[in-house]
Structure 1
């Protein structure tokens, strides 16, 4: 999927709204000075242009009245917050492939930031860029969040604190500089020539402790497809629920309370709106899980027991019963009928 360079997924601004605890009636506070209405912000997945995104960042700082907000925001931007791109990076085989996947697919989600990768005999260098150099407070907030998010990815992959590298920032040491120690275990330097994270070269091929080859191939093959589904122009309540369910990482299901909160409404309001559209959360959740299950069965060799875990079933028997109830045949029978033959091309 090719994204225009001047637009960014609205999901990040929604994540900020949730983190600030804003309700549906309060969303306007985040949008003052933008061309975005509250209805569009909540219901429409059309990307945000860079000018409006900058205003939203400024409003964020005004609402929280705290210049160190980027540090707090960064902790909420763990890989799953980046959608399919983040899931793919999280289950990449090695640290460097995780960084490559993150860098490759980042432009499909944001236009205000860029990750450049290079390495030599001693180190991997991750260059961090933003387009907000003209506003030091916004630039610092974005760089803080960006670097912490990347640091979380690194620690998730290596399965231990990231202590041997360095984080460099071009801006001067802020008054709250000591708070960086709560987020980074490695050396942090300020007033540097470029913004970057330096990783020792011995970690380049470090195996991902959470890697699963079959799951990685699923995300590799379906990344573009799922990103397309998450960026449609549809904004009915049913569509929005489906998208929230698709954003849930494997093995972590979202219940009705979680989805309602992510949509800035109460569980009762969600139920009422879905009923008006002739459906229910349970029905939509079942449809989404069934669709994902079919994708796993058709396109991977993941054992059925593992698929049950990925879909958050208590055991494989529960998954088999649910699948047969929806499709009239067992998961194994479905796989036998629809399995795509494995070829090297399938993994590209």
Structure 2
């Protein structure tokens, strides 16, 4: 996720290699690291973001970056959001996982006078950096909302604590006409009925699976650099068509032989990891959904239910029906 964030900064800044090096200056990150999974500290993110502000000399940079963030490019976090049931669910999810992307800011969602408010505070940061983060997150929320539901259906108000900018047009284009400056606080608010709007890409089954995986990724603080973990993440994010080892190797920017060699050092084979991912998803489907065995087999890439049953019994020492019946007996 952080690699995507930095690449978005580079794109907005229209930065070439020399500028990218300036962007990463003093952060401990190199441009070659952007092809890897990155988990940056709050300090590293603040340094990089501050470098971006100084390079652009544009007080509206946060607005530009947030408007450029494509929800579908944010991996497992993006999938969890676009499969949410309503705008309210998606918003809660974005704020829940905000600490993974922007750990320096404090975000709260409050109900007030039939409206739901998103309030961002970071008083410990310099004013320009706090403003950058506020505008980035508010713009990203609006960009996501416009992706998930038809534009204009949600009633949005936004207030900013600072003076009227040199150009109000970008704000009005993104947030609508109800933009207020010189306010006593910075807040983005929605009327409560807007949050009940259904998302066109909603998928409750997939949502629950993606959310559990998001929680696992956020809570994980060890083995982050292990290639086996990165392979599993690629497989989990692939949807229903699992990639071959060659495609995974390409995605991780290495040859297939290098991937196999590095996995072997960690005691794994690619097929073993693919089976682990399929087994995990199979248990999720069996215990958390009403999908039939045939449907689950198809989702996991099996040609028929019989092959799935044999594989599942090899993985779990139980049949799919037995696992589902155990869940039913508990409930």
Fold agreement, TM-score > 0.5: yes
Aligned match of 2:322: 337
In structure 2, distance between residues paired with 1:343 and 1:274: 43
The worse-fitting range, judged by mean Cα deviation, of 123-132 and 19-28 is: 19-28
Aligned match of 1:16: 5
Q: CA deviation at 1:341?
A: 1.1
Aligned match of 2:188: 197
Q: CA deviation at 1:220?
A: 5.0
In structure 2, distance between residues paired with 1:256 and 1:132: 46
Q: How does 1:250-329 map to 2 (within 5 A)?
A: 250=239, 265=253, 269-271=254-256, 273-277=258-262, 283=271, 286-287=274-275, 289-303=277-291, 318=303, 323=308, 327=312
CA separation of 1:76 and 1:284: change in aligned 2, threshold 3 A: farther
CA separation of 1:188 and 1:273: change in aligned 2, threshold 3 A: farther
The worse-fitting range, judged by mean Cα deviation, of 218-227 and 52-61 is: 218-227
The worse-fitting range, judged by mean Cα deviation, of 319-328 and 60-69 is: 319-328
CA deviation map 1:251-310 (0-9, x unaligned): 6877889967875x4xxx343531432579975884465245323333222525765786
SS of 1:97 mapped into structure 2: helix
User: How many residues are matched?
Assistant: 321
CA deviation map 1:102-138 (0-9, x unaligned): 33343355322232122244322221223564141x3
Q: What's the C-alpha RMSD, in Å, of the aligned pairs?
A: 4.5
SS of 2:327 mapped into structure 1: coil
Q: How does 1:1-348 map to 2 (within 5 A)?
A: 11-12=1-2, 14-19=3-8, 20=10, 28-35=21-28, 47-48=40-41, 50-62=42-54, 68-79=60-71, 84=76, 86-131=78-123, 133-136=125-128, 138-162=129-153, 164-185=155-176, 187-229=178-220, 231-246=221-236, 248=237, 250=239, 265=253, 269-271=254-256, 273-277=258-262, 283=271, 286-287=274-275, 289-303=277-291, 318=303, 323=308, 327=312, 334-339=319-324, 340-342=326-328
SS of 2:179 mapped into structure 1: strand
In structure 2, distance between residues paired with 1:328 and 1:42: 37
Q: CA deviation at 1:329?
A: 7.5
Q: Tell me if structure 2 keeps the 8 A contact 1:271–1:281.
A: no
What are structure 1's unaligned runs of at least 5 residues? 1-10
In structure 1, distance between residues paired with 2:260 and 2:88: 47
Q: State the TM-score, normalizing by the size of structure 1.
A: 0.69
Q: State the TM-score, normalizing by the size of structure 2.
A: 0.72
SS of 1:73 mapped into structure 2: helix
Aligned match of 1:7: none
Q: Tell me if structure 2 keeps the 8 A contact 1:87–1:219.
A: yes
The worse-fitting range, judged by mean Cα deviation, of 277-286 and 181-190 is: 277-286
What are structure 2's unaligned runs of at least 5 residues? none
Q: Tell me if structure 2 keeps the 8 A contact 1:296–1:302.
A: no
CA separation of 1:43 and 1:84: change in aligned 2, threshold 3 A: closer
CA deviation map 1:161-193 (0-9, x unaligned): 355211222233333542335544563333322
Q: Tell me if structure 2 keeps the 8 A contact 1:90–1:210.
A: yes
